[in-house]
Amino acid sequence: MDAYSLFYKENRDRLYAYLLRMTGEAQLAADLVQESFVRYLGRYGSRDGSRPLLYTIARNAALDAIRKQKVDGFNADGHEDPGNNPEQQVMDREAFHRMLAAIGQLAPPDRELISLVATADLTYREIGRILNISEANVKVKVHRARTKLREILGSGGK
């Protein structure tokens, strides 16, 4: 294993935890970890790793992302976006975690189907090809899975 691979392995989890605490968003933190290592490698090559330099790069990338979010936090009228409210952000995050827990309670085929529909940006026809079922069958299964999700969420996720 070369020095850079070892440097990456030793630091990625700690860097992720740092960025997660800094941003409060798991996906953004994961993206920033990758961006930080890419910037580090692009600028300083694979020579001996400097943890403080890596964290400086990561911190700057996070601050840039946070600034961008704040700028994007205003709507076209120049008024603050109500979704930019910290209290609203906490409530949104809790709802997101509740939804993930509810999806986790679905049967694996339904969970896969809902994941494809929600995150893969695929048409029902494309999902049908992936799962080897018809487009009509995808529609029926998505409807049933969403109904199960509503039931789970309606019962408090139990």
What is the tens place of the pLDDT at every residue in 123-137? 898 888 888 899 999
* Domain match, 115 and 95 both: yes
Tell me the Cα Rg of the chain. 21
Residues 57 and 103 in one domain: no
Domain C-terminal end among 72, 95, 120: 72
Average pLDDT over residues 41-66: 82
Q: Is the pLDDT reported for residue 121 higher than 80? A: no
pLDDT of residue 84: 59
pLDDT tens digits, 90-104:
888 888 788 878 888
Q: Which of 44, 72, 100 is the last residue of a domain?
A: 72
Output the CA–CA distances (angstroms, integers) from residue 142 to 6, 15, 138, 149, in the order listed.
43, 38, 6, 10
Residue 22 and residue 29: Cα distance in Å, rounded? 8
- Could you give the percent of the chain with pLDDT greater than 90? 20
Tell me what pLDDT residue 37 has. Answer: 92
Q: Which of 20, 49, 72 is the last residue of a domain?
A: 72
In a domain, 78, yes or no: no
Instruction: Judge whether 97 and 103 are in contact, CB under 8 Å.
Output: no
- What per-residue confidence (pLDDT) applies to 118? 76
pLDDT at residue number 33 = 94
pLDDT of the residue at 48: 67
Q: Which residues pair with 80 in a beta bridge?
A: 74
Give the whole-angstrom CA distance, residue 99 versus residue 152.
9
Q: What is the pLDDT of residues 54-86, one digit of tens each?
A: 888 888 898 898 888 766 554 434 445 555 578
34 within a domain of the structure (yes/no): yes
Instruction: Please give the model's pTM, rounded to 2 decimal places.
Output: 0.46
Percentage of residues in the chain with pLDDT exceeding 70?
Answer: 84
pLDDT-based confidence at residue 1 (cuts at 50, 70, 90): low
Q: pLDDT value at position 120?
A: 59
* First-last CA distance in the chain: 46
Residue type, 123: T
| Domain encompassing residue 120 | 83-154
The runs of H, that is alpha helices, within 2-134 are 3-23, 26-44, 51-72, 86-104, 108-119, 124-131
Residue 146 has pLDDT above 70, yes or no: yes
